[in-house]
C-alpha cells in the first residue's frame, strides 16, 4: 500500500542561538530519515520550510543535502510557499531548490478569463497533488475567491490539496485572532487536505472535506513552543497510507532532545531568600544535555529584583552540562516597584492589539494599509525588523537585507 508524508512549518533558521538552530535542522533530518526508512512515495511540505525567503546558507546546505538523500532513494517532494518563505518580488530559496530539482511546486497555477486554474501533479504512486501557497498580505485570498473549483472537484482519483492557512471552523481558541478562511474556500471531494501555518496538530473531517490535517512544527519556533515541549507537547509529522482513499493516518513524533522547565515563584519571598532557593533548585536539577527553560515570576516581598544574582544561578545550571539555558524573568517584580497587575499576554497578542487600535487612524486610500490587511502588514513589517544580523553578515548586508524584506512585505519594487 503506497504512503506519503505530510510536514509543515519547519521554520529552519527560526532561532539565532546556534544550539537551537542545530536542533531545528536535526528535527528535519530525523523526519526525512524516517520517511526513507518507511519508503514513503512522496513528501508534502505545506509551507514555511524556512523561516525567511533568504535564510542562512549553511542551514540551507544541510537541509538540501538531506533532501537529496531522500530524492536519491526515490522519494519525490511536493511543496508550496508559506508566508515566511514567500517573496512577491524576488526569488526565494524555495525557488532555488525547486530549480535544482529537489522538489516540485504543488502550485501549478494559470488564469483564464478571470478564473484561477490549478493543474494536478500526477505522482507515480497514483496520487494527484495540487495546492495554493500561503502568501503575505493575504494575496492568496483573491486566488481562492477566483479558483475554478468545478474542474478540481470533478477530477477522479486519489487527490491531495496542499494549503497554508488557518480554517475558521478548526481554528484553536488560543489562535482566535489569527486570520483564517472558511472551510468552504477549499475545493471539495479531495481525499486529504495537507495544511500548514497553524502550529498545533489536528486531523478533522468536515462535510465534503475529509482529512483536513495540520501536523504543526517538527520542533519549535520560539520560546512559547519550547515551553509546550517542556510541558509534554509532542511534535512531528503525518504518514498517510492510501489505496483508492485514505486507509490510515499516523502521527510520527520527532524528538531530538529533552526540554525541561525550571519554574520558581518568588511571591512573598525576600530577594536573598529567592536567590538562595534558586541556586539550590539549579543544583539539584537534572539538566545534562537538555534545553533548560528557567522561569522566575512573582512579586518579591522585600528587596529588588536586581538584588538577585542571576549570573550565579545561571552558572550553577551550566555546571550540570545543559545544551542551552534560556531565562525568562519578565514577570518577576518587587513589592516596592509593583504596579496594578494586568493579565499576562503573549507579546504577539499585545502587538496585534496595538496595531488593531491604531489602524483606524490611517487615512490612506490604499486598502492594504487599512483594516485587517493593515494589521497584517504592520505585523509582518515588525517581524522583519526584529530579525537580527546573521552570522558572517556585515552591517551593510544586514541593512540591505532588512530594507529588501520591508519592500517585499509592502509589495514595492526598489525602483518604485
Cell of 340: 496594578
Chain centroid to CA 125: how far?
A: 29
Looking at 323-370, list the stretches that DSSP marks H as alpha helix, in order from N- to C-terminal side.
347-358
The Cα–Cα gap between 181 and 5 comes to 25
Alpha helices in 146-293 (DSSP H): 149-154, 223-230, 271-283
Whole-model pTM: value is: 0.77
Contact between 128 and 158 (Cβ < 8 Å) = yes
Q: Burial level of 104, CB count in 10 A (0-12/13-18/19+)?
A: middle
CA atoms within 13 A on the CB side of 395: 0
Task: Check if CATH label 3.60.21.10 holds for domain 3-253.
Answer: yes
Beta carbons of 131 and 194 less than 8 angstroms apart: yes
Taking the CA atoms of residue 181, residue 251, residue 119 and residue 180 in that order, the dihedral angle to the nearest 10 degrees is 10
Q: What are the helix and strand counts (H, E) for the chain?
A: 11, 20
Domain ranges of the chain: 3-253, 259-337, 347-410
CB 246, CB 209: distance < 8 Å: no
pLDDT in tens, the chain (416 residues): 899 999 999 999 888 899 999 999 999 999 999 999 999 999 999 988 888 777 778 888 999 999 999 999 999 999 998 877 766 655 677 777 777 778 888 888 888 888 889 999 999 999 999 999 887 655 677 888 889 999 999 999 999 999 998 898 888 777 777 788 899 999 999 999 999 999 999 999 999 899 999 999 999 999 999 999 999 999 999 999 999 899 999 999 999 999 999 999 999 999 999 999 999 999 999 999 999 999 999 999 998 888 899 999 999 999 999 999 999 988 899 886 654 455 555 655 567 767 766 765 665 667 677 677 777 778 788 887 877 766 455 555 677 778 888 787 877 766 54
Amino acid at each position: 500500500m503506497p504512503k506519503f508524508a505530510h510536514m509543515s512549518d519547519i521554520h529552519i533558521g527560526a532561532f539565532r542561538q546556534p544550539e537551537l538552530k542545530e536542533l531545528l535542522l536535526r528535527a528535519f533530518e530525523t523526519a526525512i530519515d524516517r520517511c526513507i526508512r518507511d519508503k514513503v512515495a512522496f513528501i508534502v511540505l505545506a509551507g514555511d520550510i524556512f523561516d525567511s525567503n533568504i535564510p542562512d546558507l549553511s542551514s540551507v546546505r544541510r537541509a538540501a543535502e538531506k533532501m537529496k538523500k531522500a530524492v536519491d532513494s526515490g522519494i519525490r517532494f511536493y511543496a508550496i510557499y508559506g508566508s515566511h518563505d514567500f517573496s512577491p518580488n524576488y526569488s526565494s530559496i524555495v525557488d532555488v531548490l525547486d530549480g535544482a530539482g529537489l522538489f516540485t511546486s504543488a502550485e501549478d497555477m494559470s488564469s483564464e478569463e478571470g478564473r484561477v486554474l490549478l493543474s494536478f501533479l500526477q505522482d507515480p504512486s497514483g496520487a494527484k497533488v495540487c495546492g495554493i501557497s500561503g502568501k503575505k498580505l493575504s494575496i492568496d485570498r483573491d486566488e481562492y475567491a477566483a479558483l475554478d473549483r468545478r474542474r478540481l472537484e470533478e477530477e477522479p482519483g486519489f487527490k491531495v490539496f496542499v494549503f497554508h492557512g488557518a480554517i475558521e471552523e478548526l481554528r484553536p481558541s488560543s489562535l482566535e485572532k489569527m486570520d483564517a478562511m472558511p472551510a468552504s474556500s477549499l475545493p471539495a471531494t479531495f481525499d486529504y487536505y495537507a495544511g500548514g501555518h497553524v502550529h498545533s496538530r489536528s486531523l478533522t473531517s468536515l462535510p465534503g472535506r475529509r482529512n483536513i490535517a495540520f501536523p504543526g512544527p517538527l520542533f519549535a519556533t520560539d520560546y512559547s513552543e519550547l515551553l509546550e515541549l517542556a510541558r509534554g507537547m509532542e511534535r512531528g509529522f503525518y504518514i498517510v497510507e492510501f489505496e483508492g482513499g485514505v486507509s490510515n493516518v499516523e502521527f510520527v513524533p520527532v524528538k531530538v532532545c529533552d526540554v525541561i522547565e525550571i519554574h520558581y515563584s518568588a511571591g512573598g519571598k525576600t530577594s536573598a531568600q529567592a536567590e538562595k532557593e534558586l541556586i539550590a533548585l539549579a543544583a539539584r536539577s537534572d539538566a545534562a544535555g537538555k534545553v533548560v527553560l528557567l522561569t522566575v515570576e512573582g512579586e518579591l516581598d522585600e528587596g529588588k529584583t536586581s538584588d538577585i544574582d542571576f549570573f550565579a544561578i545561571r552558572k550553577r545550571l551550566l555546571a550540570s552540562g545543559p545544551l542551552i539555558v534560556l531565562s525568562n524573568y519578565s514577570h518577576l517584580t518587587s513589592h516596592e516597584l509593583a504596579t496594578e497587575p494586568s493579565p499576562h499576554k503573549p507579546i504577539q497578542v499585545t502587538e496585534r492589539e496595538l496595531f488593531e487600535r491604531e489602524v483606524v487612524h490611517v487615512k490612506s486610500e490604499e486598502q492594504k494599509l487599512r483594516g485587517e490587511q493593515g494589521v497584517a502588514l504592520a505585523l509582518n513589517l515588525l517581524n522583519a525588523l526584529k530579525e537580527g544580523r546573521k552570522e558572517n553578515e556585515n552591517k551593510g548586508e544586514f541593512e540591505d537585507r532588512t530594507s529588501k524584506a520591508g519592500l517585499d512585505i509592502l509589495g514595492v519594487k526598489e525602483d518604485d
